[in-house]
Amino acid sequence: PELASRGFSATLFLACDMIASGRHPCVDSVRLMGWDEAASLHKAGWEVGSHACTHHNLTRLPWEECQREIGQSQQRLQAQLGVPIPHFAAPFGATNSRVREAISTCYQAAVGTRLCLMESHSDRFDLPRLEMFYFRDPARFEAHLDGRGGAYLGLRKLLRAAGQALNWGSK
């Protein structure tokens, strides 16, 4: 509602196996959205992108399995939702040149997990992004829109780097 009130939409990246099961693979108590909810968000103006099939770190999979995760997720999302799926977000933001090459065969662009602004020289298959998870507080989102979010994003970058150092899917 906060985005819609400002005339914004968003992109929702879906891991199709999780949507199909409705369950989080690590936390049984977490219920995930289903296909109907994803379709409703798309009808409300949100873009749907792919987040692979199983949400595994693509850099750690055998090459054929990596390619299958990337291509099949797009095919399944398109079949289920009846819309083109031109964008991808690698699980954990974990990519390397080989994974980005596989992404480029199916998608127009992909986002990573770097918290920064996009520049003209940004890699089209590893674009920076701001996850709305960090802006659940409307006041924090307002501060970001007003150009007062730098310190908060700096803290999020530091925490993300710590998580990657703990092997949450580092590049």
Q: What is the CA radius of gyration of the chain?
A: 16
78-111 per-position pLDDT tens digit: 999 999 999 999 998 889 999 999 999 999 999 9
Please, which pLDDT band fits residue 29 given cuts at 50, 70 and 90?
A: confident
Token code pair at residue 128: 């920076």
Q: Print burial letters for 148-158: b (CB count within 10 Å at least 16), e (below 16).
A: ebeebeeebee
pLDDT given at position 164: 72
Between the alpha carbon of residue 46 and those of residues 3, 7, 8, 81, the distances in Å are 10, 11, 9, 12
How many degrees, rounded to 5, is the angle at CA 53 between CA 111 and CA 87?
Answer: 30
pLDDT given at position 80: 95
More confident residue, 155 or 26: 155
44-68 per-position pLDDT tens digit: 899 999 999 999 999 999 999 999 9
- What is the C-alpha end-to-end distance of the chain, expressed in Å? 34
Instruction: Determine how many CB atoms are found less than 10 A away from the CB of residue 160.
Output: 18
Between the alpha carbon of residue 7 and those of residues 28, 45, 63, 134, 139, the distances in Å are 35, 10, 41, 19, 17
| Pairing state between β 11-14 and 47-50 | parallel
Q: Per-residue DSSP letters for 60-107?
A: GS-HHHHHHHHHHHHHHHHHHH-S---EEE-GGG---HHHHHHHHTT-
Host H or E run for residue 12: strand 11-14
Closest to 39 in 3D by CA, of 81, 88, 85: 81
More confident residue, 121 or 30: 121
| Pairing state between β 47-50 and 109-111 | unpaired
pTM of the model: 0.80
